[in-house]
Amino acid sequence: MADLSCKIAGVTSPNPFWLASAPPTDKQYNVERAFEAGWGGVVWKTLGEAGPPVVNVSSRYGSVDYNGQRMIGFNNIELITDRPLQVNLDEIAAVKKAWPDRAMVVSLMVPCNEQAWKEILQRVEQTGCDAVELNFGCPHGMSERGMGAAVGQVPEYIRDVTGWCKTYTDLPVFVKLTPNISDIRQPARAAHEGGADAVSLINTINSIVSVDLDIMAPMPTVAGKGAHGGYCGPAVRPIALSMVSEIARDAQTQNLPISGIGGINHWHDAAEFIALGCGSVQVCTAAMRYGYRIIDDLVDGLNNWMDSKGYNSIEDFRGAAIPNVTDWQHLDLNYETIASIDEDKCIECGLCHIVCEDTSHQAIRASKDSDGKRSYTVIDDECVGCNLCELVCPVPDCISMVEVENGKPYLNWGGHPNNPMRGG
Amino acid sequence: MSIQKSRLSVEKIDENFVDLHAPLNLLQAEQEAARCLFCHDAPCVDACPTGIDIPGFIRKISSGNLNGAATTILEENIMGGTCATVCPVEELCEQVCVKNTSEQKPVVIGQLQRFATDHLFAQAKQPFQRAPDSGKHIAVIGAGPAGLSCAHRLAMLGHQVSVFESRPKAGGLNEYGLAAYKMNDQRAAKEVEFILGIGGIEIEYEKSLGKDISLDKLRQQFDAVFIGLGHTAVNALGLDNEAADGVYNAVDYIEDIRQQDLSSLPVGRDVVVIGGGNTAIDIAVQIKKLGAENVSMVYRRGLKAMGATEYEQEIAQTNGVVIRTQGKPVAIHAADGKLSAVEFEYTQTDSNGRLVGTGENFSLPADQLFKAIGQSFDSQPLSDSEGPQIVAGRIQVDEQQRTSLNNVWAGGDCTTGADLTVEAVNDGKLAALSIHEYLK
Ligand SMILES: Cc1cc2nc3c(=O)[nH]c(=O)nc-3n(C[C@H](O)[C@H](O)[C@H](O)COP(=O)(O)OP(=O)(O)OC[C@H]3O[C@@H](n4cnc5c(N)ncnc54)[C@H](O)[C@@H]3O)c2cc1C
Ligand SMILES: Cc1cc2nc3c(=O)[nH]c(=O)nc-3n(C[C@H](O)[C@H](O)[C@H](O)COP(=O)(O)O)c2cc1C
Ligand code: SF4
């Protein structure tokens, strides 16, 4: 049994799985049941200023279903908590007291002025929570009021607000980043400059999940109208992984702790975030889709996998994939693979042939003998090693990409003869 | 010759006895697991006598955590490997799968269970650890599913266990009774080895209760006793010529199927099976697979009243067994001490629901007759000691498997309840938990 405990920016938890700031973490009743189920920590649903709470619409969620599977992508047009501030604060204090070993991070979003942040921090500190997370990510509803993504898209604001928070609290400050920006390193660097103890990413992505063709309105619809909402769930994971890797290998932010978020459904998704440097991971959609009980396999699966690899702790493999993330111009242009089809496994569906044929390489020949038996042969000289055929093949291990021993040395674009800008 | 060995070639016999369901491959398992909805408060869990967290283990298959999936299964049912292929899932977990309603097809829970447990067993991994030694020593009588399940749970809880088994091999009917095409590749023996792998369990083979050991003595020597004797007697027809050549107790012949070289077994041309339970189906199907030409299974009531499930009846029929109903055996005909025919009287159900003869008979030529009209519990092994209360021919137990004797528990076929492997495993587990409480 490996040790799954984690420590990130001074916050500890018995396992790296936290529930992300969202409806599953919006009240004591929920969070306590999550802790009973085994979650290592929570980021409480984002709190706003004192005063009348926000008002939510109905309905609020949209789904991307694919081939009979529900919610491979998910979006929402909810706002921050719609419960009174003091109620939330009292409950946070009660839960932290009852569950001292779990990470209790409180997400915050108040208007972009120093006084507002100072006031809320003073009140939040009273709860005994472990850290705060600044929600600079919410892409709808709040940004129109100059909060959330409206702040997260302007690095200077991030830096300044983070700086205020560091001035007014001793609690570790996590800055939650919006992916609705072209270069994620900019807001991460700004958070770092402002003194952030960690960044959390990603928040949700601007989206319309579908258009109802009968009522001619985007989903979810509210009285016949719809608005763009925040996209999350398994479909966004690749975007999140890429953004995490950018921050993890950026010279300025490479030592900045990261709490990884976005589409984590199974333990191996979490392991991938950790391999790219994350110190904890956060989950929202999967918990909303199935309930808190998914923590059982998240913990057990990660544990069994770590045992099988001989990793004793999260630190043993955290960041292990970062050195292998590079930029395209550093990839070896002399490295070659070609497709190889295991005829014994082939079920004769023909997909490898047609995708190669119509994706322009024409490297898999299709033939049919007099008995109607189909066979597919790779034309080695035509195969560029793109691995499209391997990806579409429905049979595990039927098509594999085999390395060609060409004896050529490492050569990247910088030194390639075809590169007009090649350094002399 | 009417009865002969090797009616079929060795190759043909091997082909006939392959697994009833081929093991799922990875792709099938993934796709089937993806069909599971991961229901909350899932009906399948309620329907499993051992209460396996079925949605939980299937989610672990989906995530690629196969050892975790197997452990989830074995935590509740240490014989989850055997149960995966022998449970009548069509009447248990799969019957209540919500996908029956939405897609007219359940998730194949049994086959997924096999996929996961096979994966773990292939690595010879022991997922459980023993609690620190409790200093207590418990006697288990019978190394069948009930006894071994009890022994394993007790060992896990830190107790020392001695198992007394009258036969030379452990496993009970897993080893000697279940249909060969459900239990290929020495699966029963491998499972026993896996169970013993936890440590703390010692089996004393060829030690019979009532002969080599007595309940009174065991109760004095050990801190607690569990009885898992199974059925100890077979029912007889009570007709003349029952000892004629060619007349067998189905369970005895089935034992030979499981223990002998299949091509060495005597197989008739015209075979009659009497009975309507799963044992009758199992012998009928297996004798057909061994090469018998005409196999008739005759049951005294109608199809609906049969103990064998509809699915089992279907297996018999697709294997070429003729199922005849409303026929009660009235005579066994023999010539020169050799079976020649079995005579039946047509029956019907009268207005009071009673089965009555019609006075009309039919006769089936037979060179082999298999009696599969039920087994029972014979309390003879207990007769030299103060015995537990017996009710309706079985040892009486409460919901914790406690007998009327203060330090004696019992479970499996020798107690009341459905005679299924999974029920025996659950009885053994419950008894172990109760013994553990008692010894605290
Ligand atoms: C032909 C047949 C097919 C079956 N098919 C299925 C099936 O497909 N699915 C299913 O779920 N169930 C099936 N069953 C039922 C299932 O096998 C039993 O319910 C189950 O084995 C009961 O377990 P047990 O431990 O109570 O008894 P057993 O399996 O009978 O084990 C009892 C053990 O006690 C030992 N023993 C007996 N007397 C003594 C003694 N005096 N001293 C010491 N040891 C003793 C025996 O040798 C044996 O090892 C089948 C049964 C039969 C007969
Ligand atoms: C319904 C809903 C409400 C959310 N509310 C908040 C919020 O209040 N504050 C916040 O920082 N993120 C919020 N999020 C974003 C999540 O915390 C998380 O960053 C995002 O959903 C990506 O993770 P996932 O793919 O696991 O869902 C919300 C997400 C959803 C689906
Ligand atoms: S999940 Fe369904 S029942 Fe529950 S609040 Fe939403 S719409 Fe209402």
Tens of pLDDT along A293-351? 999 999 999 999 999 999 999 999 999 999 999 999 999 999 999 999 999 999 999 99
Is there a cis peptide before residue A202, judged by omega within 30 degrees of 0? yes
Q: Where do we find the tokens 């985007």?
A: A218
**Cα-to-centroid distance, A252 and ligand 2 (Å):** 27
Record the pTM. 0.95
Contact criterion met (CB below 8 Å) for A175 and A235: no
One domain for residues A170 and A114 = yes
Query: Could you tell me if residue A170 is inside a domain?
Result: yes
* Same domain? A316 vs A408: no
> Of the residues A295, A324, A353, which one is the last residue of a structural domain?
A324
The answer to whether residues B307 and B278 touch, using CB atoms and an 8 Å cutoff, is: yes
pLDDT at A137: 74
Mutation target to probe the A interface, by most A beta carbons within 10 A, among B63, B67, B105, B119 is B63
Please tell me if the CB atom of residue A285 comes closer than 6 angstroms to any atom of ligand 2: yes
pLDDT tier for residue A139 given thresholds of 50, 70 and 90 = low
Interface test with A, best of B54, B65, B66, B115 (most A CBs within 10 A): B65
Which has the closest alpha carbon to B59: B69, B50, B67, B51? Answer: B69
Q: Which of residues A303, A324, A345 is at a domain's end?
A: A324
Q: Do A266 and B68 touch (CB under 8 A)?
A: no
pLDDT tens, A227-248?
999 999 999 999 999 999 999 9
B235-374: CATH topology is FAD/NAD(P)-binding domain (3.50.50)
Who contacts A16 (Cβ-Cβ below 8 Å, separation ≥6)?
A: A4, A6, A40, A270, A274, A278, A279, A280, A281, A314
Does any CB of chain A come closer than 8 Å to the CB of residue B68?
A: yes
B28 to chain A: closest CA residue: A395
| Summary mean pLDDT of chain A | 95
- The reply to whether A424 falls in a domain is no
Q: Which residue has the higher pLDDT, A421 or A145?
A: A421
| Count of domains for chain A | 2
Last residue of a domain, one of A261, A293, A324: A324
pLDDT > 80? residue A148: no
Q: Is the pLDDT of residue A140 over 90?
A: no
Q: pLDDT, tens digit, for every residue of B299-322?
A: 999 999 999 999 999 999 999 999
Residue A7 or residue B1, greater confidence: A7
Same domain, A318 and A339: no
All residues of chain A having their beta carbon less than 8 Å from the beta carbon of residue B56 are 293, 296-297
Q: A303 CA to chain B: closest CA distance, Å?
A: 9
Closest-CA residue of chain B to A289: B38
Residue A35 lies in a domain: yes
Tell me which residues of chain B have a pLDDT lower than 70.
1
Query: Which ligand 1 atom is the nearest neighbour of the CA of B170?
Result: 49
Question: Are A345 and A287 within one domain?
Answer: no
Alpha-carbon separation of residue A400 from A227, A336, A337, A358, A396 (angstroms) = 44, 13, 9, 20, 9
Arithmetic mean of pLDDT, A43-59: 94
Catalytic residue among A6, A112, A138, A232: A138
CATH number for the domain harbouring residue A214: 3.20.20.70
Q: What is the mean pLDDT of residues A361-390?
A: 96
In the CATH scheme, what is the homologous superfamily, with its name and number, of domain B20-122?
Alpha-helical ferredoxin (1.10.1060.10)
pLDDT band, very low/low/confident/very high, at A112 (cuts 50, 70, 90)? confident
Q: Which of A269, A310, A301, A270 is nearest to B66 (CA)?
A: A301
The stretch A172-194 carries a mean pLDDT of 97
- A264-289 pLDDT, tens digit each: 999 999 999 999 999 999 999 999 99
- Facing A396 at nearest CB: one of B27, B56, B62: B27
Partner-chain contact A396 B26, CB within 8 Å: yes
The domains of chain B are located at: 20-122, 137-232+377-439, 235-374
* CB within 8 Å of A356: residues ≥ 6 apart: A362, A363, A364, A388, A389
Mark whether A248 and A128 lie in a shared domain: yes
Mean pLDDT along residues A71-76: 97
Q: Is residue A314 part of a domain?
A: yes
Which ligand 2 atom sits closest to the C-alpha of A137? 11
A87 Cβ contact partners less than 8 Å away, ≥ 6 residues apart? none
pLDDT exceeding 70 applies to what percent of chain A? 98
Instruction: Read off the pLDDT band of A424 (50, 70, 90).
Output: low
CATH, residue A390: 3.30.70.20
Rg (CA), chain A: 25
- The single-letter DSSP state of residue B24 is P
d(CA A169, CA A127) in angstroms, rounded, equals 13
Measure the CA–CA gap between A170 and A130, rounded to whole angstroms: 10
Q: What is the pLDDT of residue B357?
A: 95
The mean pLDDT value for A181-199 works out to 97
- Same-domain check for residues A211 and A298: yes
Residue B282 beta carbon below 6 angstroms from any ligand 1 atom: yes
Fold of B137-232+377-439: FAD/NAD(P)-binding domain (3.50.50)
Q: What is the residue range of A22's domain?
A: 6-324
Same fold for the pair B20-122 and B235-374? no
pLDDT at B1: 58
Q: Residue B247 belongs to what H/E stretch?
A: strand B247-249
| A215 and A361 part of one domain | no
Does the beta carbon of B394 sit less than 6 angstroms from any atom of ligand 1? no
Contact A294 B68 (CB under 8 A): no
Interior CA angle at B138 toward B133 and B144, to 5°? Answer: 115
Of B26, B40, B68, the CB nearest to A304: B68
Residue A175 placed within a domain: yes
- Say if A277 falls within a structural domain: yes
Is A20 near ligand 2, meaning CB less than 6 Å away? yes
Q: Are residues A160 and A115 in the same domain?
A: yes
Residue A264 is assigned to a structural domain of this protein: yes
Ligand 2 atom closest to A286 (CA): 26
Q: What percent of chain A has pLDDT over 90?
A: 93
Q: What is the CA(B292)–ligand 1 centre distance, in A? A: 26
Q: Are the Cβ atoms of B27 and A296 closer than 8 angstroms? A: no
Cβ atoms A41, A106 nearer than 8 A: no
In this structure, are A83 and A132 located in the same domain?
yes
A29 and A167 housed in the same domain: yes
Whether A276 and A346 share a structural domain = no
Q: In chain B, which residues have their Cβ closer than 8 Å to the Cβ of A394?
A: 27
Helices first, then strands: H and E counts in chain B? 16, 19
Pair A80, A222 in one domain = yes
Query: To the nearest whole angstrom, how far is the Cα of B105 from the nearest Cα of chain A?
Result: 15
How close is the Cα of B108 to the center of ligand 3, in Å? 31
DSSP code per residue over A203-269? --EEE---EETTTTEESSPBTTB---EEEESGGGHHHHHHHHHHHHT-TTTTTS-EEEESS--SHHH
